[in-house]
Amino acid sequence: MLKQIYNSILSLVIGHLTVFKHSFKKRVTLEYPEIKPYLNNKFRGKHEFDISKCKACGMCQKVCPANAIDIIKDENGLSEYNIDYSKCIFCGNCYYYCNFKAIKPSNQFELATSDKKSLKVTYKKLENTNE
Amino acid sequence: MTNLLKTMEINLGPQHPSTHGVLRLVLELDGEVIKSCTPIVGYLHRGIEKMAESRSYLQYLPIVDRIDYLGGFFNSYAFCDCIEHIANVEVPEKAQYIRVLCMELNRIASHLLWLGTFMLDLGASSPLFYCFRDRERILHIFEELTGQRMMYNYFTFGGVRWNIPDAILDSISVFVADLPNCIKDYENIITNNPIFISRCKNKGVLSKKTALQYSITGPNLRASGVALDFRKSNPYLVYDKLNFDIAINSECDALARYKVRISELYSSLEIVRQCLDYIRQSNDEVINKTLKPVILNIPDGEYTSSVEAPRGLTSCTVKAGGKNPYRVKWRTGSYYAVQLLPELINNSEIADVMAIFGSLDVILPEVDK
């Protein structure tokens, strides 16, 4: 019985000393949003789309698990490229399998909004003025 | 009638913070003592199995990470392994080592989160912060490697997407060297603490017979004295080339489950060290490029792949037929642990429900799928 009490007190003292030791360690949290977290170049945030490289082959549409990409073609090729961020699950398949490197990941992750319509991003080809 | 007056029926959950998701328990109470318990699951059902039937194999691959979000690599591996076996494709040895490395780090991260939240359920808040702080280092490594912290999409059919850069290997080495000291600190705070022991010792006793009857696997089974670990009994990947011990405890209670998981942290670290040595030396390819994931045309066939996940045996059965899987079936460890709950908590006090439930390490997305 006495031994049990002694062991209990000893373990409590060791536990408290450990917690006390930890309180002098370096802080690990960031003061977000003032300080942004470090993100590497593989981070899968909002897409960066380069319409001049896109050949409208439809690969990204084919591999997207959430059907978030919509490609509209006309007789000249691509006319409109839509990404719906309310559906996108940021899996990265669209840029892993793009043959022309037209779509890339970016570090932009703050996509929260109160307007659902703004989550639909449309890229349109510029009109050819020489026509 | 007299029974109705004597007992009271209450709902625990589905929005209770200690249920680790959305589990509803209908408890029949006689004073403080639980007379019966009915778990009600399905609040987080997303139709993961049905989704496979309308998607190609490649489209389905990112979704499997979401079955158990704390062990995404295990699900990815189980699904990839099925496809590789049906298509009869060899995975390069280096890719196999990288898969083992990722899965073991994932197991450490999962057990650390379990330890933190389990202690929070028991009322100790400091270990939660220490565990999350150390788990965060693993998540940073995964983010550098795969691009995201939890939904990795890194394993692909025939191997892994890209090689591990040396900088990441170095940061894993530093982490592996640091973690034993961190685990020692957790043990200093927790293992001999009299309050912790009184909350866990002889609580939720899961006998060997009951565990086997209910198909319990993983650390919960090993804490009941059954030495079943799929990494040893049916070695997959390169586990037969690695030296490690499996943790067994025959005390059968919540304390035993805690001890088994702590020992597993050490054995996972041991595996990670051995994988690091191999990956540094090897200059092989990390992906077998004969399998073209986009135009994947695999023969009709069926295969079941089993993997020792942090919460027990996870197995995936794929019946292939044409462009889409004909049927995908997932078996996950937590589903069986929830069914076991009435056995464990009947006739215990209501204050012990969370200690017993927490010790089983149930995660609800895995239950509901």
Selecting from A28, A43, A44 the residue whose C-beta is nearest the C-beta of B136 gives A28
> What span, in angstroms and rounded, lies between the C-alpha atoms of B7 and B32?
10
Q: Chain B contact for A109, CB < 8 A?
A: no
pLDDT at A131: 39
Q: Is the pLDDT of residue A123 over 60?
A: yes
- Alpha-carbon distances, residue B99 vs A16, A52, B74, B75, B166 (angstroms): 39, 37, 9, 12, 16
Chain B residues touching A105 at Cβ < 8 A: 147
Q: How far does B41 lie from chain A, in Å, by closest CA?
A: 25
Q: Is the pLDDT of residue A129 over 60?
A: no
- Alpha-carbon distances, residue B82 vs B85, B144, B170, B287, B302 (angstroms): 5, 27, 32, 16, 8
Question: Containing domain of residue B255, as a range?
Answer: 2-368
Give the HSE-up count for residue A53: Cα atoms under 13 Å, Cβ half-sphere: 11
> What span, in angstroms and rounded, lies between the C-alpha atoms of B208 and B187?
26
Cα B146 off chain centre by = 19
CB atoms B185 and A18 under 8 Å: yes
Q: How far does A102 lie from chain B, in Å, by closest CA?
A: 18
Q: Facing residues of A69 across strands? A: A83
CB atoms B59 and A63 under 8 Å: yes
Query: Which among A91, A95, A109 is the top mutation candidate for probing chain B, defined by the most B β-carbons within 10 Å of its own β-carbon?
Result: A91
> In sequence order, what DSSP letters do the residues of A66-78 get, joined into one string?
T--EEEEEETTEE
> In sequence order, what DSSP letters do the residues of B182-242 get, joined into one string?
HHHHHHHHHTT-HHHHHHHTTSS---HHHHHHTT--THHHHTTT----HHHHS--TTGGGS
CB atoms A93 and B145 under 8 Å: no
Is A119 part of any domain?
Answer: yes
Q: Is the pLDDT of residue A9 over 60?
A: yes
pLDDT at A2: 83
Is A131 part of any domain?
Answer: no
The domain tally of chain B equals 1
Q: How far does A33 lie from chain B, in Å, by closest CA?
A: 19
Selecting from A19, A39, A59 the residue whose C-beta is nearest the C-beta of B294 gives A59
pLDDT band at A130 (very low <50, low <70, confident <90, very high): very low
CB atoms B188 and A15 under 8 Å: yes
DSSP letter assigned to residue A6: H
> What span, in angstroms and rounded, lies between the C-alpha atoms of A37 and A43?
12
Query: Looking up tokens 């399905």, which residue turns up?
Result: B42
Q: Which residues of chain B have pLDDT under 50?
A: none
Selecting from B136, B147, B151 the residue whose C-beta is nearest the C-beta of A43 gives B147
Is A49 part of any domain?
Answer: yes
Query: Looking up tokens 């037929």, which residue turns up?
Result: B321
**pLDDT tens, position by position, B244-263:** 888 888 888 888 999 999 99
The domain that contains A28 carries what CATH number? 3.30.70.3270
pLDDT at A72: 86
Q: How many residues does chain B have?
A: 369
Query: Looking up tokens 């209910």, which residue turns up?
Result: B214
The domain tally of chain A equals 1
Is A129 part of any domain?
Answer: no
Nearest CA in chain B to A4: B194
Q: Is the pLDDT of residue A33 over 80?
A: yes
pLDDT at B74: 92
Give the A window 70-99 contacts with B, CB below 8 Å: 89-93, 96-97
**pLDDT tens, position by position, B70-111:** 888 999 999 999 988 888 888 888 899 999 999 999 999 999
For β-strands A77-84 and A103-105, DSSP reports them as unpaired
Give the HSE-up count for residue B316: Cα atoms under 13 Å, Cβ half-sphere: 30
> What span, in angstroms and rounded, lies between the C-alpha atoms of B148 and B218?
27
pLDDT at B355: 84
The domain that contains B238 carries what CATH number? 1.10.645.10
Q: Taking every pair of C-alpha atoms in chain B, what is the biggest distance, in angstroms?
A: 75
pLDDT at B3: 59
CB atoms A62 and B153 under 8 Å: no
Is A98 part of any domain?
Answer: yes
pTM here is: 0.89
Is A52 part of any domain?
Answer: yes
pLDDT at A10: 82
Q: Are A84 and A120 in contact (CB under 8 A)?
A: yes
Q: How far does A52 lie from chain B, in Å, by closest CA?
A: 24
Question: Containing domain of residue A54, as a range?
Answer: 3-124
Rg of chain A on CA atoms, in Å = 26
Selecting from A12, A28, A44 the residue whose C-beta is nearest the C-beta of B147 gives A44
CB atoms A92 and B143 under 8 Å: no
> What span, in angstroms and rounded, lies between the C-alpha atoms of B221 and B227?
8
Chain A residues touching B59 at Cβ < 8 A: 63-65, 93
Chain A residues touching B153 at Cβ < 8 A: 91-93
CB atoms A15 and B193 under 8 Å: yes
